[in-house]
Amino acid sequence: MSGYKFYLKKQYKKARTGLIKTSLGDVKTPAFMPVATQGAVKSTPINIIEDIGYEMILSNTYHNILRPGLKTIENFKNLSNFMDWNKPILTDSGGFQVMSLSKLRKINKKGVIFQSHIDGSSHELTPENVVETQNIIGSNIQMVLDECTAFPSTYNDAEKSMKLSLEWAERARKTYLDSKNRSDAQFGIVQGSTYEDLRIKSAKETINIDFDGYAVGGLAVGEGHDKMIEVLNYTVPILPDEKVRYLMGVGRPENIIEAVSEGIDIFDCVIPTREGRHGHAYCKNGTLNLKNKMFENDKKPLDENSNFNFSRRYSRGYIHHLIKSNEPLGGLIISCHNLNYYKNFMNDIRLSIENNSFDDFKRDFYFKRNSSWFSSMLSEFRLFSFSITSNSSSGKLSFSVFTASTHSSVSIPAAAQTSFPATSGVSLWEGLRTPEILLLILSTVVQELITKTKKEIANNLVQFEDIKKI
């Protein structure tokens, strides 16, 4: 290893902050990595990624073999020079492609033979040559070749895949340690699908191989958020405290904040740029779909609370036009905006852990995103408007509903009631902290309106029921 070290700085319950030191610079954790699959982060110039403040990006071994190719990368000395990115790079091994390109590959104990999705040419990945390839790429942190199990998977298939990944991991570690010009660090990967005993076995045996850090792979493949967190709950505690914990391919803010709660340190995902290209902008108070006609004449910036000047200079109405017109500039603006949101999000997470206020940060995060979602749903369907009022003496909340012809006051169910100080300046929303409470309120309002205004909402009944299921 050359210059690699991980320092654990602060821990709040299971959430933690740390510092990864590499030969190309330091990375503060928890950290999110933009994905530069083929040596480029889609729709995002590399100088903007630098300006935003990202400290490490992810690239992919398999895709770099195909394009630009190892000869081109070697001609530029390494991928960092080729991209003009002078900070750390983590490279995935190609294990995810073992799953995602299943129709184009054959697996055996030696490795994987791929048929290129570009020109049909044949390429073999083995635990050994993947290490050598990542050394050529100039990875600061490289991942071992593994078999990423699809979901759902039978127990037998998951066990077989897990055992093969362990065999490959041992071979990859030996090759790495024998390498003369090796990367800064090499991480092992825990597999086992959603089976607890397989995950635990995989974690323990991967630790025995003694890697520089550990990743939890094979998640975000269809198992759902709750199952993902369940897997982390019994897997992460086994991983060494003194080494980096990486959750591969996970990137929705809700996933990240819960994974941090379980002790995860680094993340990667294409979501910020992929959803940006499709018109979805991440903001502190929720996600905006700029395709919606409601933004056609909106003069406000994407996020009024953002200090990111690159996206603030453009109005929502203009970006709406770009997205609807399939102008690449629209996707570029939102992608850059989303990456800035993610960077600030991780900064805020780290700060809250260091200040022992992570629980409060989580509550505020869900409150802002869910209250925004709630009000936007009601507004978008144009069924009714609402306000929340309280009884100053009891601290109890009630819901006032306004339709075209009626005004109804609905008591919030006892299960959703939260007392709060009846002091000046305290927001009435402060008691509404969880998505469960918001959904409970929505369900109550829907039922009340169905009872009191049947004729008025008859045509919208299906839409109401859809909202309740979201």
**Token pair for residue 239?**
């991983």
Question: What is the secondary structure of 325-340 as a DSSP string?
Answer: TT-HHHHHHHHHHHHH
Output the pLDDT for position 115: 81
| 160 pLDDT higher than 60 | yes
Vertex 87: Cα angle to 189 and 272 (nearest 5): 65
Determine contact, residues 212/243, Cβ cutoff 8 Å: yes
Which is higher by pLDDT, 417 or 101?
A: 101
| 425 pLDDT higher than 50 | no
For the whole model, what pTM was predicted?
A: 0.81
List active site positions.
Answer: 92, 268
Rounded CA separation 358/355 (Å): 8
- Residue 360's pLDDT band (cuts 50, 70, 90): very high
Output the pLDDT for position 167: 98
**Token pair for residue 73?**
């990368």
Rounded CA separation 428/420 (Å): 9
Bridge partners for 91 per DSSP? 59, 142
- Residue 462's pLDDT band (cuts 50, 70, 90): very low
Output the pLDDT for position 32: 98
Residue 302's identity, in one-letter code, is L
Residue (of 258, 144, 268) closest to 205 by Cα position: 144
Instruction: Kindly report, residue by residue over 63-75, the tens digit of the pLDDT.
Output: 999 999 999 999 9
Question: What is the secondary structure of 41-52 as a DSSP string?
Answer: -TT--HHHHHHH
Q: Identify the structural domains of the chain with CATH numbers, from first to last.
A: 5-262 (3.20.20.105), 270-357 (no CATH), 382-469 (no CATH)
Q: Mean pLDDT, to the nearest integer, of 364-372?
A: 77
| 414 pLDDT higher than 80 | no
Output the pLDDT for position 454: 52
Q: Which residue's entry shows tokens 């003369």?
A: 180
| 282 pLDDT higher than 80 | yes
- Residue 389's pLDDT band (cuts 50, 70, 90): low
- Residue 284's pLDDT band (cuts 50, 70, 90): confident
Instruction: Kindly report, residue by residue over 99-127, the tens digit of the pLDDT.
Output: 666 666 788 889 988 888 788 888 889 99
In the β-sheet with 31-33, what is the strand arrangement from edge to edge?
31-33, 266-268, 244-247, 213-216, 185-190, 141-143, 89-92, 57-60
Residue (of 254, 235, 243) closest to 210 by Cα position: 243
Residue 87's contacts (CB-CB under 8 Å, 6 or more residues apart) are: 24, 25, 50, 54, 55, 56, 57, 80
Strand 89-92 and strand 141-143: the pairing is parallel
First-residue to last-residue Cα distance in the chain: 48
Instruction: Kindly report, residue by residue over 189-246, the tens digit of the pLDDT.
Output: 999 999 999 999 999 999 999 999 999 999 999 999 999 999 999 999 999 999 999 9
Output the pLDDT for position 354: 98
| 333 pLDDT higher than 90 | yes
Instruction: Kindly report, residue by residue over 296-319, the tens digit of the pLDDT.
Output: 999 999 998 888 999 999 999 999
- Residue 449's pLDDT band (cuts 50, 70, 90): low
| 161 pLDDT higher than 60 | yes
Q: How far is CA 392 from CA 70, 386, 400, 418, 427, in A?
A: 69, 19, 16, 13, 12
247-251, 255-259, 301-305: which range is least confident on average?
A: 301-305
Average per-residue pLDDT for the chain? 84
Rounded CA separation 55/232 (Å): 25
| 3 pLDDT higher than 90 | no
Give me the sign of the Cα torsion angle 227, 229, 230, 232. Answer: positive
Radius of gyration of the chain (CA): 25
Which is higher by pLDDT, 418 or 354?
A: 354
Output the pLDDT for position 293: 94
- Residue 447's pLDDT band (cuts 50, 70, 90): low
- Residue 453's pLDDT band (cuts 50, 70, 90): low
Output the pLDDT for position 373: 52
Rounded CA separation 326/175 (Å): 47
Bridge partners for 398 per DSSP? 389, 411
- Residue 139's pLDDT band (cuts 50, 70, 90): very high
134-138, 263-267, 437-441: which range is least confident on average?
A: 437-441
